[in-house]
Amino acid sequence: MQKDELIQLHTFLLQLKTHLEDMVESDGSCAFQAYYTLDVTPYQVYKSKREHKLAVFKLSRGIADLLVDNDCPGLEKISCRLDLMSERFMTSKEKELVQA
Q: What is the 3-state secondary structure (H, E, C) of the chain?
A: CCHHHHHHHHHHHHHHHHHHHHHHCCCCCCCCHHHHHHCCCCCCCCCCHHHHHHHHHHHHHHHHHHHHCCCCCCCHHHHHHHHHHHHHHCCHHHHHHHHC
For 39-93, write each residue's pLDDT tens digit: 999 999 999 999 999 999 999 999 998 888 777 777 888 888 888 888 887 888 8
Q: What is the pLDDT of residue 44?
A: 95
Count of domains for the chain: 1
**Separation of CA 11 from chain center:** 11
What pTM did the predictor assign? 0.84
Tell me how far apart the alpha carbons of residues 54 and 4 are, in angstroms, rounded to a whole number. Answer: 15
Q: What is the pLDDT of residue 57?
A: 93
Instruction: Give the CATH number of the domain where residue 91 resides.
Output: 1.20.1270.110
What average pLDDT score do residues 22-35 get?
82
Please say if the pLDDT value at position 18 is more than 80.
yes
Q: Look over the chain and give the mean of its residue pLDDT values, rounded to a whole number.
A: 87
**What domain range is 84 assigned to?**
3-99
